[in-house]
Structure 1
Amino acid sequence: MVYRAPERMATEEKRCVVTGGRGFAARHLVEMLIRSGKWSVRIADLGPSIKLEPNEEQGILGEALRSGSAQYVSADLRDKAQVIKVCEGVEVVFHMAAPDSSVNSYQLHHSVNVVGTKNVIDACIECKVKRLIYTSSPSVVFDGVHGIFNGDESIPYPPKHNDTYSATKAEGEALVIKSNGTNGLLTCCIRPSSIFGPGDKLLVPSLVAAARAGKSKFIIGDGNNMYDFTYVENVAHAHICAEQALANEDVAERASGQAYFVTNVEPIKFWEFVSLILEGLGYERPRIKIPASVMMPIAYLVERTYKMFASYGMRVPQLTPSRIRLLSCSRTFNCSKAKDRLGYTPIVPFQEGLKRTIESYAHLRADCQPRRDGPSKAFIYLGSGKVAHTLLWKDKKQSLTAVLVLIAFYYYFIASGYTIITALSKLLMMASLFLFVHGLLPAKILGYTIEKIPASNFHFPEEKAHRSALVVGSTWNFAVDALISLCKGKDWRLFIKVAFSLLMLCFLGATSFQRVFVIGVPFAFIAFYVYEKKEEEIDGLIHEVVSFGWKLKSDISKKFRASK
């Protein structure tokens, strides 16, 4: 079906800007604004040019770009001059741009959510923009510890947020609210809860990827945590309601300078929602419950491993402490304020939105693609970077070099029986000798250029040192808190975890470093390679073992309860 852009109205169209206009929810807002026939839409995003998908090319967006009722502008919100240029001559700004929330980088999030938002506010004031609607997040009031049930806008920002994304989103939101009324600018903030719908490149694809990797069978927590989800068209509708409220002189005073929760007003168990999506696409429902307290130490380990190997190409892990908290806590919100002051009510019911979402991902159905789609799980587990290429023998020269270096290291430092201090001293001596000789070499030898090692390679950045110190301090404080809890003699679960950890430490301590090296290194270079080649067979075997274990546990529990 080919969509046609609405005919131009007799009066001149009003101009608006949508920042982050190529994002998931922003695309739906852009199309809704164009479809209304009242707006000339300026789409602002980071890309140097707009690349339309086939359905967009033939749809209302492609038609609007060709007719001139929509235009694309490349802009970086962190550059104030670019933002001012984007906001010139417009009446309304829908500020929807935001960085990837899964990357827990304070520098990235602060530069976009705080500095970028401040630039947008300053540009609106300088360009005499009348209205600014900011897309915030319910996470601005979530501390990652306490669940939220039917929360309203009276909930304050927590002393500590769940992650840097939420913390910087709260800073940006506060700036927008504070700027209300400055030079005639009216502002408000929309907090849409857990957006889903067609075009989402995060939620549904990640669920499908987990299902194909055999990880979707697990429920983190007790599975009863309630959530509010919001269909993407309702999110776009809420933004338009906000703009209309601010434009209406009779209600603008009550509506402006406020934050509003927006949902589908149909709370559902989080894991039931996940199950409905997966079942609709032909995958199994999650059924194995794992306590969040069991997953949290693993998540901390994964996160710290990522911090160590991120510079070597390791990708952002899905299993992080902040993600575990999101998956196991309840988060439901009250939309009464948005209904009262903005006139917002959902235009697409939850079940209809779910149906449209599942239909839009027909290409991700279990029966539509081969079991392996893209990189192997072993490649993904190893970070998809240099480590993965080395251990999976993707780059045989690099892998062979690593093996030879490790063999040399073993024979020279471990098999020789040196103490740690002696081995370290010899290693430093060799490094010093190499650097000294390298420094003496001329710039060219027999026509070959000798590249000198810059001094900057040996510097330890202050920011990295600061982060390392914070990690050490945080670890120490966590240990102290655990010790205090143990002293109270009430937390048996914590005692068991500590006792198990110490037993594991005793086991590792009794194992010589030589044995660990001899077993661990060959295992790393062989096991991951074999797993990649026999992925389906090994996964099937693990699945059978796990299923048998849980069935056995269930049977024992039933017999134990029956005997009481």
Structure 2
Amino acid sequence: MSLAGVRCLVTGAGGFLGQRIVRLLLEEEEELAEIRTLDKAFSYEAYKSFTDFKGQTQVTILEGDIQDATFLQRACQGVSLVIHAAAIIDVLGLVETKVIREVNVTGTQLLLDACVCNNVQHFIYTSSIEVTGPNYRGDPICNGDEDTVYDSIIRSPYSQSKKLAEAAVLKANGQALKDGGIFLTCALRPTYIFGEGSPFLQGHLAESIMNNNNFRRISRKEALVNPVYVGNVAWAHILIAKALRNPEKAKHIEGQFYYISDDTPHLSYSDLNYELSKELGLGVDPCLPMPLMMMYYFALLLEVVSFLLRPFVTYIPSFNRHLVLLLNTTFTFSYRKAQRDFGYVPRYKWKEAKQRTSQWIASVIPQRRQYLKNRLPKPKRN
């Protein structure tokens, strides 16, 4: 079933994943009536790519705050599908817990309320693998699925906020709408997302250039994860949106969450960085800078120092215990349920995903080198 005639709202449309969802919708669903792209701010590149679109679909740019209830009410008027990808992502503690909760949890609830008030039929939430874990013990999961039993006690403010927001989304499923319809919701839990424009990959590239074109090893080779290409995550959103319009398929999807991965090889985070860029001359350290247990307790020490300094100065450590566990725990998941319920099959194979990402990296490296060169102090003249 197509999305012909649908008016769709995409939140977080200026972000890494949100932009890809919008572009794929415009490319694949030519008979969409309208896409409303919502974000707090859009980069020039994102704004230009949306406004320069020459197809039949109307593209409306909405700049506003996800915490503004009045703004959200206006944004949802006349819409039948919402894809909610907006969120603050923070694994280092750069953002206050209160702010993360307000955006990721309260903002999601305000959006759900606006949808119900405006008779929005379908709501797709972009959740996260971190809703599951890893937990504070670093218990591994190998090829898990939606029925895998796991003690998902998590302490990261970001992970907790995504878990609460996802729960609110799934709880809202089945609510009665004012026009007599039923509100249908679901959630997608992508594994670690890589691809062109990845802010995390950009950060690692900058560090590698400063480290003589060598990635610092941040994860053990044995800590296998299954990263997913950004184009495949966007594709999963479109497929489940179509399936929700099919009453027979929708009854299996509503109120459910789905893990989204693809055929990217299972490897560690550090080895993914290397695999994507080794042909460009970048390397990776052979081992962690210190034993894993020592890293964990060193991270704890840094957290204690940060806490003690808080009344006087803001100090954010470069890593913490949550990040050490996240990067060094085997955590892989199957997409079988998504394939069964709404026909998800990766649109982009690993070879193509790797090639596209590597080409982007090749274009970014000279920019990063020039940027870092300009930041270095110029030699003084006598």
Interval containing the TM-score (normalised by the shorter chain) = 0.7 to 0.9
Change (3 A) 1:86 1:220: same
Q: Structure 1 residues 293 and 360 mapped into 2: Cα distance closer, same or farther (>3 Å)?
A: same
Amino acid at match of 2:6: K
| Amino acid corresponding to residue 65 of structure 2 in structure 1 | D
Q: 1:99 aligns with which of 88, 94, 99?
A: 88
How far does residue 311 in structure 1 lie from its aligned partner after superposition? 7.5
| Uncovered stretches (5+) of structure 2, i.e. residues with no partner | 177-181
2:36: which partner in 1? Answer: 42
Structure 1 residues 323 and 73 mapped into 2: Cα distance closer, same or farther (>3 Å)? same
Q: Secondary structure at the match of 2:304?
A: helix
C-alpha displacement of 1:155: 3.5
Other structure's SS at 2:53 match:
helix
Return closer, same or farther for 1:158/1:121 CA change in 2, 3 Å cut-off: farther
Structure 2 counterparts to residues 29-108 of structure 1, below 5 A: 29-35=21-27, 36-39=29-32, 40-47=34-41, 50-53=42-45, 57=48, 59=49, 61-64=50-53, 69-104=58-93, 105-108=96-99
C-alpha displacement of 1:307: 4.1
DSSP-derived class of the 1:269 partner = coil
1:135 deviates by: 0.2
Shift in alpha-carbon separation, 1:321–1:374, aligned structure 2, 3 A: farther
Partner-residue secondary structure (3-state), 2:273: helix
Match of 1:150, SS state, is strand
In the alignment, the residues of structure 2 paired with residue 115 and residue 371 of structure 1 have an alpha-carbon distance, to the nearest angstrom, of 38
Judged with a 3 Å threshold, the aligned counterparts in structure 2 of structure 1 residues 300 and 112 are, in CA distance, closer, same or farther, namely same
Are residue 277 (structure 1) and residue 268 (structure 2) matched? no
Distance 1:279 1:161, change over 3 A: same
Q: Secondary structure at the match of 2:372?
A: coil
> Aligned pair 1:236/2:234, yes or no?
yes
Change (3 A) 1:288 1:218: farther
Identify, as 1 or 2, the structure richer in helix. 1
TM-aligned CA deviation for residue 178 of structure 1:
1.0
Q: Which amino acid aligns with 1:148?
A: I
Counterpart CA distance in 2 for 1:360 and 1:207 is 14
The within-5 A match list for 1:460-475 is: none
Deviations 1:171-208 (A, max 9, x none): 111111111111111111001111111122x2211211
2:200 is aligned to 203
Residue by residue over 1:411-431, the C-alpha shift from the partner in whole angstroms, topping out at 9 and shown as x without a partner, is xxxxxxxxxxxxxxxxxxxxx
Matched position secondary structure for 1:224: coil
Give SS of 1:355's match: helix
Q: Which residue of 2 aligns with 1:252?
A: 250
| CA distance, structure 1, for counterparts of residue 120 and residue 206 of structure 2 | 43
Which of these residues, 172, 189, 192, is aligned with residue 191 of structure 1?
A: 189
How big is each residue's C-alpha offset from its partner over 1:487-535, in whole Å with a ceiling of 9 and x where there is no partner?
Answer: xxxxxxxxxxxxxxxxxxxxxxxxxxxxxxxxxxxxxxxxxxxxx899x
Q: Secondary structure at the match of 1:188?
A: strand
The Cα of 1:211 is off from its aligned counterpart by 1.0
Letter in 1 for 2:292: A
2:8 pairs, out of 1, 16, 19, with 16
Q: For residues 258-305 of structure 1, give each alpha carbon's deviation from its aligned partner in whole angstroms, at most 9, with x where no partner exists.
A: 000000133421132122134244222221333221111222233334
Query: In 2, Cα distance between the equivalents of 1:193 and 1:77?
Result: 24
2:131 paired residue number: 140
Q: What TM-score does the superposition give when structure 1 sets the normalisation length?
A: 0.60
2:122 to 131, 147, 152: 131
Structure 1: 5+ residue runs without aligned partners? 1-8, 377-531, 535-564
Q: Tell me how far apart the structure 2 counterparts of residues 90 and 316 of structure 1 sit (CA, whole Å).
A: 41
Write out aligned runs for 1:335-374 (5 A): 335-365=335-365, 369-370=369-370, 372-373=372-373
Within 1, Cα distance between the matches of 2:57 and 2:252?
35
Partner of residue 221, structure 2? 223
Corresponding pairs, count = 364
Q: What is the rounded CA distance, in whole Å, between the counterparts of 2:64 and 2:324 in structure 1?
A: 34
- Separation of aligned partners in 2, 1:76 and 1:368: 31
Q: Find 1:265's aligned residue among 263, 266, 283.
A: 263
Q: 1:122 aligns with which of 113, 120, 136?
A: 113
Cα separation, 1, equivalents of 2:249 and 2:78? 25
TM-score (normalised: structure 2): 0.87
Structure 2 counterpart SS, 1:365:
helix
Measured at CA, do residues 321 and 117 of structure 1 come closer, stay the same or move farther in structure 2, by a change above 3 Å? same
1:42-89 deviation line (CA, Å, top 9, x unaligned): 011112xx4431x873x5x23238987111112212222221111111
Give the drift of 1:373: 4.3
1:131 & 1:267 partners in 2: Cα distance? Answer: 33
CA distance in 2 between partners of 1:79 and 1:372 (Å):
38
What one-letter code is carried by the residue in structure 1 that aligns with 2:9? V
Task: Please say if residues 188 and 255 of structure 1, whose CA atoms lie closer than 8 Å, have aligned partners that are also in contact.
Answer: yes
Q: Which has the higher contact order (CA 8 A, sep 6+)?
A: 2
Percentage of pairs with the same residue = 27
Which position in structure 2 is the counterpart of 1:294? Answer: 294
**What SS does structure 2 have at the residue aligned with 1:167?**
helix
Q: 1:373 to 1:191 in 2, by over 3 A?
A: farther
Residue 238 of structure 1, CA deviation: 0.3
Question: Structure 2: how far apart are the matches of 1:267 and 1:187?
Answer: 31
- Separation in 2, partners of 1:24, 1:91: 24
SS at match of 1:268: coil
Larger radius of gyration: 1
How many angstroms apart in 2 are the aligned matches of 1:14 and 1:32?
15
Task: Name the structure 1 match of 2:179.
Answer: none
